[in-house]
Structure 1
């Protein structure tokens, strides 16, 4: 018999990394992962662009900064040990206008404070040496930024959990969470599983699952769909590494960029449009329940009042490829509408506070109540940082043990 059983809700990369960390670092503890889908990594992890972020963007001292930098080292070692894809193809963060140079310099200083390795400022001429088809007047070059296959990593984490005596219960949508004598009862329809501790890593459903456990209602999850174009196969040679814009500091999104994938394809995107369903990977997917929940939340209206102009611009790019590619063409001028086809899409679980603020930093964990711990905001770079996040959650959960 196990000394203790720990439940983890959610078989995305954060939930699986956490389950794995507990199983390996707490001998005698049995871990059970609860996942509503028939396979792991179906949502944010399975629609991830595959970028291993180096830590350029994040506020020094924030959880994002600290856990991203630690997570890169852990992930690199894990991928090498398991022979999973891990390619350091490098990244350029490109300024195309003079008014972006100040923001680029701020990024450089932030990245230095975060100990991003080998980052340097480069000139227009040096950009062309690295990316002969790129535009821009100056850039930051991060040669250690990498790409990987996050669904493959998540599947490896799941195998580690099972090999350590744990269980990944697929097709188990959590519909109830109740505190009972000496533990917690996790329900799915008529099924009941008792655990001693429970960790909520439910991604797009994190606020809904937290409410089952009587957690506070905020922050609320607002789904943003990120849509991609794909370079045609005969045009992928125009891009060697990752090419990113200088991001707008008002938003937690990084803007439309060029992303080579480990399969040899090159994505262009994503945009960021409000999805009409939490799992709305297509424009046609509409959930009345999700829309009603959005309309009833004051923070959503305050966000809309602040950012509606940007929202209109993003939707225009969603419907018109020419508008989408207009921004992208600043960074690789030779790429136009005829060089791309529609690609896939992901949905980002963006936490929103009641005052309309888009939550930037991780809220990991955001709440502990009894033997339940809730993760309430884990967007990018959560995949990069997943193994470090797992260490952090495990330390918090067992600090009283």
Structure 2
């Protein structure tokens, strides 16, 4: 991969080199990233074998390159109340940094057509070049736009280290009339209280698609399990969910129902697991009032910091490795990112303690379980590692040995 930076921006080049060294210090592989200086250019080019990406900014040129994939506006002069008009002309890749409002600063961006996202915090940006360098490196490391924006802001606070503390990050905005940001659960759910779980209660966490597997695995000692039936037209769906919940009660186990939260409420489920899309429509306040535990899927910094505002019972981190059990909108996270997300989560308040219970998911088997466990997660979610096993009890026992052992050098 080649990173092409205009040669007349030496301060930026040095900042980029520094951030790359910080990335290397936490485990990212930067050996194939080459920085080249180019003359007569007013944009950043990121070239690899798959694609070319262009980053434009008013730090590089007064005239923004409209063909760029990302356009960072630092010298825009807008305040938050201007944005009902500004967002009408925003397109994919527009990022406005340090927008002033009455009591805080906001970073505002367009992730895709007509979808505006934002994050907010108290601190004003002090070094735009440093911030821009963090954004560039985040894109080079293949973070999605929303995570690159979050990391750039946090990195310009942490300075000499990779950001790992909650107070270094801005907070994703979940409700704002000026920005037309409105999430169904935002206001009420942020004050809801979901049951907290002891980290030791999760253990090995199978995710299965039928009740027969639930009964079989509960008989073999599993204490946390999820029923994930993808097809809403699945025959006798309600009865299957009811049976799964009854099995959980029979074996004193924590059975989570994926997605079908209305049926989970109707039949008194222990817990519900929802994806990012599901939380837009689910009545989270109703779930909380029924004392149903809530697990939420996340795929990066932005989503993680977004969902902790509704205080779920646990946070799923994934997908860690490539998986064939589900079509995923994101790329595999890998071990380095998993460890970094875990460090951040360990700094976030959960009930009276620090650190949410976390469930790593995606492509985990007996060969990969140990390095995943060493990242500090609370639980390992498995699918094919059990459902395709010739001897499920043996596999359960092997996972249990891994999770009961010492963790090697937490990342």
- TM-score norm. by structure 1 comes to 0.21
Higher-RCO chain (CA-CA 8 Å, sequence separation at least 6): 1
Q: Which has the larger radius of gyration?
A: 2
